[in-house]
Amino acid sequence: MKTLYNSILILLISIITTTSCKKEEKIKKIAISKDLLKDNIIPKPASLTATGSSFELNAKSEIHYQHSDLKPIAEYLSGLLQPATGFKLPVKEMSSMPSTDHIFLSLTDSIPNNEGYQLSIKENGIVINAKKPAGLFYGIQTLRQLLPASIELNEKQDNTWLIASGTIKDEPSYSYRGAMLDVARHFIGLSDVKRYIDLLSFYKINTLHLHLSDDQGWRIEIKSWPNLTTHGGSTEVGGGEGGFFTQVQYKELVKYAQERFITIIPEIDMPGHTNAALSSYSELNCNGKATKLYTGTRVGFSTFCTDKEITYKFIDDVIRELAEMTPGEYIHIGGDESDATPIKEYIIFINKVQKIVAKHGKKVLGWDEIAHATLAPNSIVQYWARDSTENKNAHMAVKQNAKILMSPATKAYLDMKYDKTTKLGLDWAGLTEVDVAYNWSLENHIDGIKKENIIGIEAPLWTETVENMKDLEYLVFPRVIGIAEIGWTPTSQRDWNEYKVRLGKHKDRLDALDINYYNSKLVPWKSIVSDTIVKSSKDSI
């Protein structure tokens, strides 16, 4: 009798434990995405209407696109969603809005801005409309931010993928939203630059200016002048091994960026900041003697020999080879801190170089000192002046109908220290905490320079003190996120006290993306995963 009783007891206990385990395993963590208004999209979209329901992305969802040239972007979205969901969403060409439960990508002329989009989320389907594929890409970046942050993880999550319902109509305030990366002071390699491109495109940045040459290094292979990289690319600040992009690698980088709607703008800085070239080829020096390689951080001591014909033959070869690898309209000719070049020679030099750039079918971008020369049509002058006394270059540029690219060192230089305790970075333009980098606007920064004179914003990272991707991410994030919003969202819609809360809620995303961001005390960093509710599945016991 006792044995029978015991075995019944054991059976009962095993049934209860299995049931509760079953219930346990069925419990899912979901981020309630019922309120689109609560979602913390950056850059802040132009308009957002919530309808208080949600769409569930599931294994049966599909991605439909209107015509064949949208297939790559449909595949990009499918690839983006797969790691964390485990869903391999099929992509299918569909001429019109398909049946329910799917995501539909289509182009329409009714959207005015080339980068604008409309994202409509209903219980039974999602539609992203745009004028051009770039707008679809930006609609996808917003969609990413409406999913739980765990969507950014690389391993499958046991999650219910809800997206709050409603409509977002969005477009950028400025067309040029950029970052600059100095790969000359310290060489930053291909995989790191690709990661930087991924992270920038997540926040709708569309331009990456690569500072490819300086006193300490030449970082792009030029086949007609091979010593530029074999010798000029062989070291860096501090005497490290340096490095460079072969033309094959550079083309791969340009393509990778293009797939994420980022235009690469290459910069060959001249006539100053040229020691690496002067050390590689003696004939570029007025005295015919090659300089020594330089691994310090001083500026303003080098210059091409501006009255030698060989100098312009050299520049013509460099610009020709660069132009062949540059699908974008612009090539950056530098022009900053040419303290070793007499101003009269500088002006003649810049005028000649502009003609060489035009000859190879490209337009000129340059640091604001180039405004002393006669600017070619469609030139862009990059304002970097340290303070208002140096605004005169911007006014000279506007007088010549050039557009201004805003990179004020006191606001947008990502190599400035956050505060006096920051180990990395410099402080010559002042300390730039996260609020200082956000709390300004392009059209109100320089007296007399208005929105119509400004093409957009660019945040440079100079790498005198930056040796690797972790250093880069620490200085760049979170400030570049604010730069992205300054370029996208109208000033009238922006406020630091509102933005900092939204930024704080990106903590989970930055963590999921494994970004080594600066944990500013000014930002109320908050994990919203804790907001999720633990919900047992409907069929639980």
- Catalytic sites, residue numbers: 337
Nearer to ligand IFG, 115 or 415 (CB): 415
Helix axes 343-359, 309-324, angle to 10 degrees: 40
Q: What's the CA gap between 109 and 336, in Å, rounded? A: 42
Cβ-based burial of 20 (10 A; exposed 0-12, middle 13-18, buried ≥19): exposed
Q: How far is the CB of 181 from ligand IFG (least distance, A)?
A: 12
Eight-state DSSP code of residue 364: E
* Nearest CB to ligand IFG, comparing residues 197 and 459: 459
Q: How far apart are CA 383 and CA 376, in angstroms?
A: 17
- CB neighbours (10 Å) of residue 54? 23
Q: Does 384 bind ligand IFG (CB under 6 A)?
A: yes
Q: Which is nearer to ligand IFG, 202 or 413 (CB)?
A: 413
**DSSP 8-state symbol, 292:** P
Residues 420, 425, 429: CA angle, nearest 5 degrees: 75
Interface with ligand IFG, residue 48, by CB under 6 A: no
Report the residue number, 367 or 474, with the smaller CB distance to ligand IFG: 367
Q: What is the full DSSP assignment across 502-515?
A: HHHTTHHHHHHTT-
Shortest distance in whole angstroms from residue 409 CB to ligand IFG: 6
CB of 518 to ligand IFG, least distance (A): 17
CB of 371 to ligand IFG, least distance (A): 13
Compute the least distance from the CB of residue 173 to ligand IFG, in Å: 25
Torsion, Cα 128 131 132 134, to 10 degrees, reads -60
Count of residues that bind ligand IFG according to CB under 6 A = 9
Nearer to ligand IFG, 252 or 337 (CB): 337
Omega within 30 of 0 (cis) for the link into 72 = no
C-alpha–C-alpha distance, residues 328 and 206, integer Å? 12
The interface with ligand IFG within residues 413-472 (CB under 6 A) comprises: 413, 415, 426, 462
Q: Of 3, 18, 155, give the one whose Cα is nearest residue 84.
A: 155
* Cβ-contact 216, 237 below 8 angstroms: yes
Other beta carbons less than 10 A from residue 423's beta carbon:
8
Residue recorded with tokens 């600059």:
180
Closest contact distance (angstroms) between CB of 219 and ligand IFG is 14
Is the separation of the CB atoms in 186 and 463 below 8 Å?
yes
Residue 67's DSSP bridge partners are none
Our CB check for ligand IFG shows the closer of 384 and 517 to be: 384
Please report how close the Cβ of residue 405 comes to ligand IFG at its closest, in angstroms. Answer: 12
Tokens of 398: 């506007």
Q: Is the CA virtual torsion 222, 225, 226, 227 positive or negative?
A: negative
The token pair that represents 197 in the structure block: 């491109």
Residue among 355 and 386 whose Cβ is closer to ligand IFG: 386
**Residue number with CB closer to ligand IFG (423 or 538):** 423
Q: Name residues contacting ligand IFG, limited to 295-354 (CB under 6 A).
A: 299, 336-337
The nearest distance, CB 466 to ligand IFG, in angstroms, is: 11
Contact 509, 481 (CB under 8 A): no
Tell me how many degrees the CA angle 492-381-349 measures, rounded to the nearest 5: 175
Judge contact between 426 and 462, C-beta under 8 A.
yes
Please give the structure tokens belonging to residue 50.
């919530």
Q: Which residue from 187, 261, 304, 367 is in contact with ligand IFG, where contact means CB under 6 A? A: 367
- Asked if 244 and 318 touch (Cβ cutoff 8 Å), the reply is no
299 or 347: whose CB is closer to ligand IFG? 299
DSSP string, 412-445: H-TTB-SSTT--SSB-TT----HHHHHS--STTT
Q: For the residues of 147-163, what is the DSSP string, one character each? A: S-GGGG-SS---B-EEE
Q: In the bound complex, what is the minimum distance in angstroms from residue 487's beta carbon to ligand IFG? A: 19
Interface residues with ligand IFG (CB under 6 A)? 299, 336-337, 367, 384, 413, 415, 426, 462
